[in-house]
Every structure is written in structure tokens, then in C-alpha cells.
Structure 1
Amino acid sequence: MDVEKRKATGLQLLRQLAEAHGAPGCEQALRRIFRDTVSGPVRTDPMGNIIREKEGLAAGPRVMVTAHMDEVGFAVQSVTRTGLLKFVPLGGWWGHTLLAQRVCVRTQQGTEVLGVIGAKPPHFLSESEKEKVMKLEDMFIDVGASSADDVRTRFGIRLGDSVVPDSTFTPLFNPDFLLCKAFDNRAGMALTLHALLEMEGISHPNTIVGVGTVQEEVGVRGAQAAAYGVKPDAAVVLEGTPADDLPGFSEEEQQGALGKGVQIRILDPSAIMNRRLVQYAIKVAEAHNIPYQLAVRKSGGTDARAIHLSRTGVPTVVLGVPARYIHTHNSIIHMSDYLSALELVVQLLRSLDSSTVSGFTAYED
């Protein structure tokens, strides 16, 4: 394994994916990157999920390795007489993180229009208003238009156009710390594509089905359709998971610290992972000296919610790259965690044969 080549490929994928515009329901830029990156036939389903299927030494088991393509964003809901855009959220946002931030509106013609999120200036707020988190419905996007007609005719912006944060991929002073928007879940998408690339030259005892899903941030909608169509025997969900190595968390509570390895999720409110698959992932990580962290989450959820319930049930595990400040304009990941996650995914895909996968659901006890 050429570590530097692997790192360079990972950085290229992360930059390209994280900077791409992909609000829920508008994932076309990510589908293009998916097609341009992988070799072999690629297909899409009616929901817009994109799929690359690669048969190895056997047609089964079918191992789904998947990540959602969408990021939290907004949609234009209305335009004021003076040319300000009112918007609705697509995914979870906290008002404190939004004011005075730059955003990018993507028109139906593919033009990207820069704007800034504004609201009533603090100089005009009452003391009680200043103590509250401002509601999104009291905010607007200013693109520098003079009227509603200007927005429509000169800018080409229409109701429903998607909006995402404007953020540039930037290595920090320590270049292993990477800053950008959308690491939830472009970190997972990079891992999915990177694993597919590496498995092109590696023998594997299964059929790998790499999937980029849509609309996770608004209710894991794409994953439900994708899992039904793919019919996996096991699934590995790849995510940019919220880091907790910050003030407000005790050291013993930390389960997603930057630089401490891939996160193996045991459960969250949306899914209890298949315990045997979790233990197998731990076993593989330890056998290959891959740093890992275990997580039992009190909140949140992933595409595993839909996938593990598909048809008669699918053994599923979530592997995460911890990311600080997700669902904001600027999140941070650590390159070593990405590489740990990639190594674990590759080793799992190399070893998940029919006997192993059938053992995950052999409930004789």
C-alpha cells in the first residue's frame, strides 16, 4: 500500500466532493463526480441514487457500501418586493451559525449566485430579542438584487432553487486538519468512491455494490429506495459523524475525537447495528492495527435507519470520520481518521464472504 498515494487520492476526492453543490434533491453534481471517478458501468434508480456494482469471486454475498450525497442546505421559498430571498431549511440548522454567512444559490440553468444571510440588525433588536436564537423564518438571503423582478429576470432565480453554504476546502496550519462545509457527508462519499477505486485491483469473495444515496438529510429517503433495489446481504454505511472532543464533554464521554481513528457505531436512536457485524468490524480493525473508536449515540441517525429495515432486514454497521461543527459552514476532520476508515472498509470488503455474512444472522441462540 502506497500511503502517500492513498492520502493524495483522499485529499483530491475530499476537496472535489466537499466543495460541490448538493442540497437534498439536487445531488446532480455529486452524481457527475461519482460517474467520473469510478470505472465500469454505473446506473441510477428513480429516486436519483447512483450505483456501481462489481462482482468479485462470487455473486454473493451482496455487500452494500454506501454514503449519502446530499448536504444540509436551503430552498428559496419566496422573494420580497425589494429582492430579498426567503428560504426554508433542507436538513437541520441552528440559527446561531447562519447570520452573516455566505451562501450559494444554484439556479435551474446551473448558474451559481453568491449571497449572504441577513436579518434585522442587532442595533434594532430589543434586549429580549438579543437573548434568543433568531428563527430562520426571520432571516433572508441578500444576493444584491433591487427587486423581485430583478431576481427573476437578471439573476435567473426561481422558487425552489437550492442553496448551500459557500465554503472553500482548506488544510489548516497542521495540514492533517481539513476545513470545509459538508464533511457530513462528503467524507463518507469520498470513502465510498476511494474504496471502489482500490477494490478494482483487489480480489474479493463477494459482490460489492457502491451506492451514493439522495435526501438523507430530510429523512433518509434515498436509502430506503436504494436498499430495496440493491437487495444487500450486508451493508456498511459511511458517514461524517459529529465529533465530541470539545468543551462540554467529559473525557469519558468522548466517542468521536479527531485523530483517534475510525468511529464504529454500535447504536443510535435510529438503528441498533447488527452486533455480530460490529464485533467483526472490531476484530478486523484489531487484526490490521487500525485505530478505532466505539460509539453509542444518544441522538442522531444515518441511512442505516432505512437500510437495516429493508425487506426482511439487513445486517448493517456505520463507520464514521469524526467531524467538528457539522451542519455549519465550516467543519473540521482529521486525515488520519479518514485513512483509518478507508483501511477498515477495504479490509472488510476483502473478507466478507458468504460464510461470514450468513453468520451475522444465524440466530440459533
Structure 2
Amino acid sequence: MNKIKLLENLSNLHGAPGHEYEVTAFIKNNMKNFNCEGDSINNLYIKNNKENNYPIVALDSHSDEVGFMVEGIKANGTITFLPLGGWHITNIPAHSVIIKNFKNEYIKGVVSSKPPHFMTVEEKQRLPKIEELVIDIGTSSYEETTELYGIEVGNPITPDVVFSYDQKIDVVRGKAFDNRLGCAIVMEILKELNYNELRVNPIGVISSQEEVGLRGAQVAANKIKPDFAIIFEGSPADDTFKDNFSSKGALGKGIQLRVLDAGMVSNPKVQTFVKNIAKKNNIPFQVIARSGGSTNGAKYHIADKSIPTVVIGIPTRYIHTHYTYASVRDYKDAIILGKKLLEELTEEIIKNF
């Protein structure tokens, strides 16, 4: 399976926070030459079969995507819902979604709100509230929605989007690049490494529930107790609303190194180490400091004895919406950089961080 096809398969899967089983099952099935084990929060740990006493390096990416959950069913058959992850209300109405019932059946619906014809002047001048939105699956009664389609409170909901690749510009479009991009990168790195030449022990961590509080990463950091952590993340691109000088997350201009966000101040020694390896291997990179947002790095860097951590982002346009864009070049460069970091890391280098 080539790298683009792998990303396509991952992007098209459905895995709202707490309901990532489809994603972890796919990854486990495609990593059969590795020792894969899960836990009760649905993290997946991917280990090579060569035992050693080298320092453990976590290669972390989260499997969940922003989505929703069924909150209730109205008498007219429409469905009320709650957000799972950081949505902005303007990105929700008039979009197609997929509800997965507990029989593992998929039901398509549309997020609807009151048509403008029936709105008051006041309603037209303000943003809708999420409790005013419903999902319409075409039914007209509570009984049709629950009995014919088996929809219940607690069913997960995800965007209804199909992956595509534009070969002319080497750009992919799909849903959940935050963070199926990271999942694909971790899988490719683990498959391509020459473990006989490493002086560290990489463990892939496909973590759950990142979008609702970095929960899987907290469990993973305590479970495997890594000596170093590399977080791969689909990070917000800013090149469609900033100029060339202020943009630090442009598609096709390199992977993104995050020095600051709301959850972590990055260790400057780690940053220097990563930058030097990127330069040595002609891998372009962008550096960003953000006042908001965070990644699983926020949990790793304060876990246990304090874990040196780097966040490698792949600039992704319009994350936390239905449709996202990413550069294939950035995606492939992140794989190369991850491998080069593992080839360079040693116990002595890690201790000096």
C-alpha cells in the first residue's frame, strides 16, 4: 500500500473521540509484523519484536477526530447532538454527517437549522446555538428514527467526506487529517526503520480521545514511560489568511515545529537537535509559537520524570471542519524526519536534554 492510499484509507474511517475502534482495528490489521496491544481507553501500542534495553521513544499520534454524539431524538424524528472536540458553530450547519449506531450500521444525515424564511429578524442577525441545530436523516417520527434506523443516545457522529488526491498540485483533501496524517506517519516510520541500526526502542502510540482533553496520551505516558516523545500532529495551516511573512504553517513549505502553545513550552535543546537534523537532511521546516491550542505533547512533557518532547506538525488547512487539505510533500518529509531522529538519538543525547 503506497503512502497516499494509506492516508486515504485512514481518512475515510470514522473515529469520534471514545469511538476510535474502526481506526485502531485497521491499524492493527496493517501492522501484523509488530506486537500490537490495546488498553481500556482504546490506545494502541505498536512494538517491534526485537527486545532490547535501549531508551524508549514514543511515536505518538491520536486516532480520534472531531465529531458529535447523539443527545436525543425529537418527536418529529430529528436528532439533537453534542460536540466532541473543538467545533465553531459556523462550521456545523448544512453539512452531511454519518451516525454510527450500536449495530455498527451507518446512517447519513444533514445538520439542519431553522430555514431563514421562518427566522425572526433577531435570529438572522446572530449565530445559531448548537442546541438549536438538529440532524435530519429524512424520517418524520421518533419511531422511524429509533426503530427503523436503530439510533440511540450515545451514538457517535462524524463528518461525511470522501478522500481525494490532486496530482497536479500534490495535495490531498479529506476529513480527519487531524490526526490520521499522524497515524499514517507513525505506521510508515515503524515499517521503514532498520531496527538493527537503532540505539533506541521506538514504540508507536495510537492514542485516543485527544480532541476531548488529551486523555489517551496521559494514559500512554504513564504506561510505557518513554525516555523521549515525538508527537505527530495535523496542525492548523494559516497560509490562507496570513501573508508570506507572518504565515508559519503554509502547505508545502515544510513540517511545522511548535515552540509554544497553551499546553507546552518546548525544550530549546530538543528544538535545536531537531532543527539540526532537519537541516542536515534538507528537510524544510517552519517554526510557530501559538497562544492557544495544544497537543499530546502537553501530557508527555510533564509525565513521570519529565519526558523530552517534540511536536512535528503537518500544516493542514481548515482542521476541525469537514474538509481539510494537506501537502503530500510535508507528509512524506515528516516520515523522513521521524526516521532520521530515531537514527540519531542515543541514551547519552537524551540524557543531555
Structure 2 residue 348 is matched with structure 1 residue 359: no
Is 1:304 aligned with 2:278? no
Match of 2:331 in 1: 338
TM-score (norm. length: structure 1): 0.93
After TM superposition, give the deviation of residue 129 of structure 1 in Å. Answer: 2.0
CA gap 1:56/1:351 in 2 versus in 1, 3 angstroms: farther
1:210-221 equivalences in 2 (<5 Å): 210-221=204-215
Matched, 1:316 2:312: no
Deviation at 1:257, TM superposition (A): 0.4
CA distance in 1 between counterparts of 2:322 and 2:231 reads 24
CA distance in 1, matches of 2:282, 2:311: 19
Describe the SS at the equivalent of 1:93. Answer: coil
Aligned-residue offset at 1:130: 2.0
Match of 1:50 among 41, 44, 47: 44
Matches within 5 A, 1:1-365: 9-38=2-31, 39-54=33-48, 58-172=52-166, 174-199=168-193, 203-247=197-241, 249-360=242-353
State the alpha-carbon separation in 1 of the partners of residues 120 and 89 from structure 2.
18
Q: Is the 8 A contact 1:9 1:194 kept in 2?
A: no
- 1:271 is displaced (CA, Å) by 0.6
The more displaced of 164-173 and 86-95 is 164-173
Moved more, 194-203 or 120-129: 194-203
Structure 2 residue aligned with 1:3: none
- How far residue 172 of structure 1 moved from its aligned partner, in angstroms, is 3.2
Tell me if the contact between 1:237 and 1:318 (Cα under 8 Å) persists in the aligned partners: yes
- Residues 297-334 of structure 1, C-alpha deviations (whole Å, 9 max, x = no match): 12111111111111121100100110001111101001
| 8 Å CA contact 1:20, 1:30 repeated in 2 | yes
Can you give the 5+ residue segments of structure 2 that lack an aligned partner in the other structure? none
Over 3 Å counting, the alpha-carbon distance change for 1:263 and 1:270 in structure 2 is same
Q: Is the 8 A contact 1:56 1:204 kept in 2?
A: no
Contact 2:61 2:232 in 1 (8 A): yes
- Mapped to 1, the partners of 2:16 and 2:139 lie a distance apart of 23
SS in 2 for 1:312: coil
Amino acid at match of 1:290: I
Of the structure 1 ranges 101-110 and 35-44, higher mean CA displacement relative to structure 2 is found in 35-44
Question: C-alpha displacement at 1:46, in angstroms?
Answer: 2.2
Distance 2:196 2:278 in 1: 18
Residue identity in the other structure for 1:208: P
Which segments of structure 1 move beyond 3 Å, counting only runs of 4 or more?
Answer: 55-58
Is the 8 Å Cα contact of residues 57 and 206 (structure 1) preserved in structure 2? Answer: no
Are the counterparts in 1 of residues 18 and 41 from structure 2 also a CA contact under 8 Å?
no
Deviation larger for 328-337 or 164-173: 164-173
Shift of 1:343: 0.7
Contact 2:16 2:67 in 1 (8 A): yes
Shift of 1:207: 0.6
Contact 1:68 1:212 in 2 (8 A): yes
SS at match of 1:340: helix
Give the deviation of 1:291 after TM superposition. 1.0
Question: For the residues of structure 2 that align with 1:302 and 1:56, how far apart are their CA atoms?
Answer: 30
Cα shift at 1:226: 0.7
Q: Distance in 1 between matches of 2:101 and 2:196?
A: 42
Q: How much does 1:72 deviate?
A: 0.2
Between the two proteins, the alignment pairs up a number of residues equal to: 352
AA aligned opposite 1:212: I
1:195 alignment partner, SS class: helix
The CA RMSD over aligned residues, in Å, is 1.5
